[in-house]
Amino acid sequence: MSEPTETIEGWYAYHEFRTIDWTLWKNSSAEERNAVLEDYLDYENRQLAIGESHEGSFSLYQMAGDKADLLLLYFRPTLNDLIVAKNDFNKIKLADYTVPSYSYTSVVELSSYLSKPGNNPMEDPALQPRLMPNLRNMASHVCFYPMNKRREGHDNWYMLNKPERVQLMRSHGQIGRDYSDRITQIITGSVGLDDWEWGVTLFSEDPLHFKKLVYEMRFDEVSARYGDFGSFYVGSTINGDALYQVLSIRE
C-alpha cells in the first residue's frame, strides 16, 4: 500500500452559499426590510466579537454569477462550533429571505513537514495564522472551488508512492508560491467530511490573479493529470452596512 501523507489540522471551515429570494424580499414592507438588516447587523457584531476573542472568524461576501448571491464563511475550533454558527444564522430574519444553494464543510490542512518536531503546531507563531485564519486580514476578493485527486486507471494519485507525490507536489506548490505576494491561499481537507477531498479558498485584491493562477496550474502535472475540479465561486467581501445598499429597494 502507498504510504499516506501526514497532515496538520487547524480550525474547521464552513462555506455556506445562499441565494436571495428576491420576490419575497421585494414584496416585504420597508419596515420589515429594515428590521431584517438591523437583525443581521446584530448577528455580524456577535460574529466579529468571536473573532476579537480569537475563538473563530467570519466574513460575508457578495457573489458574482447566478450560483449564489451570498457566501457566509466561518472558521471555528471544532465541528460543533460550526454547527452552532450555522444554526445561529438560521435563527435570524435574513435566513427567511435566503435559500441555501451550496455548502462545504472541511478543516484547515497543512503538510506535516511545516511543523517543528516536538512543537505544538497550534502554538507555533509561524503556523498560527495559517491554521487559525483571520478573515478580517484577508484581501477583498474571494475564489472558492472544491477538488479531488483523480483515481482512474493509470492516473491514480493514491497508487503513486510517497516520494513521487512529494516531488510532484513540490513543483505544483512552487506555482502557488510564485503568486504569494498577490494571493493568499487556504487549503481545507474534507476527506470523510464532504463530497470532495479538498476545498481551495483564494483571496486577492485583484480577481484577475485567480484566473492567471488557476490557468498556469492547468499546465502542471498534478492538475493536468491528477486533478478534478468542482464549480468555482467568486465574489467580494461585504459588511452589514454595505448590505443595506445591495438589498435596498426603491419604493
Catalytic residue among 14, 145, 179, 226: 145
Task: Report H helices in the chain.
Answer: 22-26, 30-52, 79-90, 128-131, 162-178, 208-217, 221-226, 240-247
Residue in the structure block whose three cell numbers are 447566478: 66
Q: What are the backbone dihedrals phi and psi of residue 9, each rounded to the nearest 5 degrees, phi first?
A: -105, 145
How many H-runs (helices) and E-runs (strands) does the chain carry? 8, 11
Cα separation of 242 and 41, whole Å?
Answer: 11
Closest alpha carbon to 169 in 161, 103, 240: 161
Respond yes or no: is residue 226 known to be catalytic.
no
Positions annotated as catalytic residues are 145
